[in-house]
Amino acid sequence: MSYKKIISTLIITCALTVFGAFGQEIINWFELETPPEPIKEVTPEYPELARRGEVEGRILVQVTIGIDGKVEKAEIIKADPEGFFEEATLEAAYQWEFTSATKDGEPIRVLYQIPFNFKLESNEEVIREVISIPEEAITREIDNDNSDSLNVRLVGYIATAAQSVYVSGSYAYVTGAEDVLRIIDVSSPSFLSIKGSISPGPESYAFDVQVYGSYAYMGADDGLHIIDISVPSSPSEIGFYDTPDYANGVYVFGNYAYIAGGDSIYIVDITTPTSPTRISSFNMPVAIGPYFGLMGFEKVFVQGDYAYIPIGGGFHIIDVSSPSSPHEVGKYYIGGCAEDIFVRDSFAYIADDWDGFHIFDISDPSAPSEVSSYRPEGDCSDGAASLTNVYVEGDYAFITQRYRGWLYILDISSPSTLRVLTHVNIPMHATDIIISGSYAYVTAEAGLFIYDVSQFTGE
């Protein structure tokens, strides 16, 4: 390999801190009226020492952009490996030029982070890829005082069609439009890259995904796809089960995949991934209360001998101790539109699209009882109570809000006495959330967003 190709992936939302033009007021990137856009990009020269030694690397540079769009200062935030690329990268970074960022009609100085990837290639072509968040995802007014004090920060973003996410090891598995599963390397949140992807059925649409061992189980509108992910760069489909309805929600537990779709739950034996076999299905009304028949099953959560399905105005509890003969043992009518459910021990946590967040005692599955609830201020007309996804980690519940674009973090250490700790601005129309290690992974129409929540996870 005689030459190196330098790829600079520009992720503008990694610039989390913004400095005012007059003084040092710290605000959030989302508060800008117009963010800076690069109008002159300079690619670093590949250092001779690194070229001869065939050394590859990644550099994260932070620049201070003046009110005239010129770079006033550049510094290395991270270098991997150290000692090869820093000087050349800084020299190039100082030559970048941008449009001026503005807030309240005035130009403003901002911090901006640029990752550069130095890669071995067999040709001499220089390529630069620019990725940015859509305008609607970065230019909304927010109140972020709470997140500043609790140190919840956006640390990574990648633009990709994103419907659902599951994190295992160093990879995030993200479903999107056109039945695509993308495998994203998240080992370093500031340097996200798509490791591999697969599109088993281009005419369909992918919904949910779960990973179990060396396989990803992807629910789509044509059924359940089983994908071998043992080699992340080359995923391959090895099994498929054609569901009569959409496979909206998927949960893998032991040797079975539980699939929510239409008005049924399907239990599929996945002992042999290449030959998934339906063991049974359970059909029931697709809603509880006055919203009977309005919508189908979209999520399912399995714990022990029971499957929990949010639907319509409440949720169902299905005994699956005998997979061949599932039967309903309990249900509860909330009165709103249950979207998502998370179950841990004796409690079920519900995100309701119309009526906020609810905690239920499910120690007696035949008689679930509400313990507490939280409803954000506002009414249905402005979408304030539209909570759509929930994930529980430790003593905290992480809940996404659809229309206003918030991530709520609640202390649930005492289930009967909820405390709202903070609400963090996220893009609107969030579709899924999962907590893994120190990070919250949120999917939305604009892509995959990663937030540092280590203060809550303790990692």
In a domain, 292, yes or no: no
| Per-residue confidence (pLDDT) for residue 285, from 0 to 100 | 60
Which amino acid would we find at residue 40?
Answer: K
In a domain, 11, yes or no: yes
Which candidate, 160, 155, 240, 239, places its Cα nearest to that of 197?
160
| Per-residue confidence (pLDDT) for residue 418, from 0 to 100 | 93
Check the CA dihedral 351-354-359-363 and report its sign.
negative
Mapped onto helix, strand or coil, the DSSP state of residue 98 is strand
| Per-residue confidence (pLDDT) for residue 251, from 0 to 100 | 97
Long-range residue pairs from 378-385, CB within 8 A, at least 24 positions apart, any chain: 380/354, 385/336, 385/352, 385/354, 385/355, 385/356
Q: How far apart are CA 116 and CA 60, in angstroms?
A: 6
Q: Which helix (H) or strand (E) element contains residue 52?
A: helix 48-52
| Per-residue confidence (pLDDT) for residue 103, from 0 to 100 | 81
In a domain, 70, yes or no: yes
Question: What is the phi/psi pair of residue 26, to 5°?
Answer: -95, 125
In a domain, 250, yes or no: no
In a domain, 78, yes or no: yes
In a domain, 376, yes or no: no
In a domain, 258, yes or no: no
What pTM did the predictor assign? 0.70
| Per-residue confidence (pLDDT) for residue 325, from 0 to 100 | 96
In a domain, 283, yes or no: no
List per-block mean pLDDT (blocks of 10 residues) for the chain, which spans 459 residues: 38 34 43 78 83 75 87 85 85 92 84 77 37 32 39 81 92 84 90 86 80 94 93 95 90 95 90 97 62 60 95 88 96 84 97 90 97 80 75 96 84 94 81 95 87 87
Helix residue spans in 199-283 (DSSP H)? none
Which residues form the domain of 31?
Answer: 3-132
| Per-residue confidence (pLDDT) for residue 32, from 0 to 100 | 66
CATH of the domain at 20: 3.30.2420.10
Burial of 194 (0-12, 13-18, 19+ CB in 10 A): middle
Q: In total, how many domains does the chain have?
A: 1
